[in-house]
Structure 1
Amino acid sequence: MLAAQWALPYFLDLVCSRPRAVLIDRFVRRVVDGRIEGMAQRPDYSNTTLCVVTLREAVCARPAMYFGDWPAADWPLVMCAWTVHELLAYSAEAPKRVDVTLGIDGVLAAAVDQARLTWPTRAKKTTVEEIVGRRMWWAQLGHSNTVTIQQAGRTPGPPKQVGDLLIWDGLRITTRMDLDPEMFGVPADSMWLDAAPRLGQIFTTDRFRLPTDSQVMITNDGVGIVLSHPKLWPGLMMPDSALRSRAAVSRSGARRSRAPTAGRG
């Protein structure tokens, strides 16, 4: 307290006795000099030194910023998890449900029914496909990306306005991404290899944990269901070879049960 009482008159005398511009100039000079101390020259941010990079180039340069610690071979499955969570956010039914298909040619397809989209009335007018496509930024890492949205089997009609929002209800949203094997360093036919245990590991992390009020069905072409939430598929932690064997046994058993039986003489 005594120190403050002593310092206040000195500070007022310093401010009043010197031009304010001089004080500000000296303060700014010290701060700037302190920041650039040891630098040979200031960075040049002109148009001649800046260049625009694609999302793919940015991911390759700093993969940890986008995919964390997951290796490149797991990026397709991480993109699958992102897609599941994104479509769950659009679902307006209870419980929320998303169906995903992992294609043997590196295709990632997903669908959600009874979805709802919203858009601010003050924002620039756009289409429902653009609303979904903008948020799914990872789809730009593939060869192609298609978003199809229907309402009762037709093109969505005009939205209804509620307050400051435009709302589309009763939508079916389907997405299809043709992933680029070169991006992940794995062939297309091996992209979903052993997807069951790998997806199980991803969805048990805090970042990708599925909501308890959701239903997710992920099917791998040629293998069958690899993950079902909330009731996990019994073969969740099995490799694809074991899943194929189980599916073959199930199909052969079904054929035997349908075969006609000979009558006894």
Structure 2
Amino acid sequence: MQSHKTDTGCLFIVATPIGNLGDFSARAIETLSNVDLIAAEDTRRTGALLTHLGIKKKMLSLHSHNEAMQLNRVISELQAGQIIALVSDAGTPLISDPGFPLVREARKLGIPVVPIPGASAVITALSIAGLSCERFAFEGFLPAKKSARRQKLEQLKAEQRTLVFYESPHRISAMMADVSAIFGMRNTFIARELTKIYEQTMIGSPQECLDWLAASDDHRKGEFVVVIEGEQVPPQVTHDEETVLRTLLKYLSVKDASRAASQILGQPRKQLYQHLLALSAK
């Protein structure tokens, strides 16, 4: 473990596997082997992981229900010179997991906070979804109640960035039904049990994803990551560009005109196609 010598202790933020233990880095294992204390979201799950690795360490519980109460204790340990690792049940701490108040307070007090990167379900799903990863917004879990969930989806409907959500097995069907109703034919990717034995993925319209979920009880088991294509906004065209589009429509089909326009104007064919459709309907 790299030395981080200060007058106080040091807080390591350690990512753990989201399923496959083979994804645990050597650096993460070394870090957990050398810290004084591990703050764990669930000490039983982390205990099982440590046993698998042959590591014996003192642990304390730090989860969403006791985080405020445990904060002062952990900070006191750090100020006394203790080296502490923060881990969540799976993946990278703080990403829809506890830890933010602790990291914020440690930063405020000048206590070193060191990342030990690793698995993240958000990034893992984005990397295989086949949807744009250049700009995305992670929204975590949607509200459990239908009315609040639909209200949140309505707020996100015009978002142009790719959207990423987590969802639980008992709410995934209800979520996808609402996505279908509000987002329409938007390209949607579902991943369940990422990196685990029964990992499965599905991409299609929200309704197609909903049909896939209904096709088998197994399709609704495990933890889910849902990736939804952002709103596709037609490009704003100048007067001269619109003249080009109207001229092309006189001689070509919408499909062929969109291809030609994309070459002439240097704009995405898909967006030009939508604009040409609108022009042809006038």
* Class of the TM-score when normalised by the shorter of the 2 chains: under 0.3
Instruction: Considering Cα pairs closer than 8 Å and 6+ residues apart, tell me whether 1 or 2 has the greater RCO.
Output: 1
Query: TM-score, normalised on structure 1?
Result: 0.25
Q: Which has the larger radius of gyration?
A: 1
Q: Larger strand proportion, structure 1 or 2?
A: 1
